[in-house]
Amino acid sequence: MRNRVGRFGIIVGMLGLLACIPVSAGRFIVRAQGVLVTGGGEATASLPVFDASTCTSEVNCHTVDLSDGTGYGLNVEFRVTSHLFGIEVGMTDTKVDGNILATRPIPALPSQTFSNRATFTTDFDTFYVGANFHLWKRDSRVDVYIGPIYANVDYGDGGDIIIPAVDLTVMIGDTEFNILMPEETLRYTFEDTDSFGINGGFDIAIGKRWAVSVSARYLISDPEYRSSNVGAGTVFPAFDAEIDPIFLSVGAGFRF
């Protein structure tokens, strides 16, 4: 949220600079697309007590999964040398769904743990620059391209996740006990990160100016993940999470 206006301004500014270059019509294309993000990633945080590598023997740990999300994207490309090479600048503004699996010790039974889930939604925005290599000249009806990209990924400001309270029934010997697992608040952040990946797609011309635009982008992203238990004042160790999203986009393009 904090960087969206600035990123959009950068794109508009670069478009204005490129527009000052004396070129023939059709060397620019602006694409507006709907975006689906899929295949996000997972982050696990734990308090090392017995074995810091797993949750099975931890007294307190949690796993955060980022799954699918939707949003929109905007990019502009300028076809440079021989019309087979282009420079693309763009942004995506999406939100992704996630869930957290929290594993906690059962009061009075420290050797046993209980796990429950909560869901949340977080920002997942990118600003990227890429080099596109086109298979055919720009006057082809179907324009196919592929190339590397650099992206800055903004995960927003994080937030609080409420781990709901649960009434447990446990057996100790032949006696049944009711134990309340209290509500907890987990505060999390993913640090913004620089990422690299690959971009590809195609534009199908409709008339001289308009086109149907389809693209896919894959990023390798390792943001630093931080979290804490608000009520207990517990801070979990920070570490690099592996999040490698795929962005699938469909929309319209306009050449000028």
pLDDT in tens, 213-225: 999 999 988 888 8
- Better-scored residue on pLDDT, 34 or 51: 34
Q: How many domains does the chain have?
A: 1
The predicted model gives 76-94 an average pLDDT of 89
The one-letter code for the residue type at 14 is M
Range of the domain at 126: 4-20+39-136+145-205+225-255
Is the pLDDT reported for residue 50 higher than 50? Answer: no
Cβ pair 72, 92 in contact under 8 A: yes
- Note the pLDDT of residue 247: 93
End-to-end Cα spacing for the chain = 30
Q: Does any domain span residue 33? A: no
Q: Does any domain span residue 216? A: no
Q: Does any domain span residue 31? A: no
Q: Does any domain span residue 215? A: no
Q: Which residues of 202-213 are buried (b: 16+ CB within 10 A; e: fewer)?
A: bbebeeeeebeb
Is the pLDDT reported for residue 201 higher than 90? Answer: yes
- Taking the model in full, what pTM does it have? 0.78
Distance CA 59, CA 106 (A): 9
| Banded pLDDT at 57 (limits 50, 70, 90) | very low
The predicted model gives 45-66 an average pLDDT of 55
Q: Does any domain span residue 212? A: no
- Note the pLDDT of residue 49: 41
Q: Does any domain span residue 167? A: yes
| Banded pLDDT at 39 (limits 50, 70, 90) | low
- Note the pLDDT of residue 1: 45
Q: Does any domain span residue 46? A: yes
Cβ pair 29, 210 in contact under 8 A: no
The predicted model gives 111-134 an average pLDDT of 87
Q: Does any domain span residue 26? A: no
The predicted model gives 142-158 an average pLDDT of 92
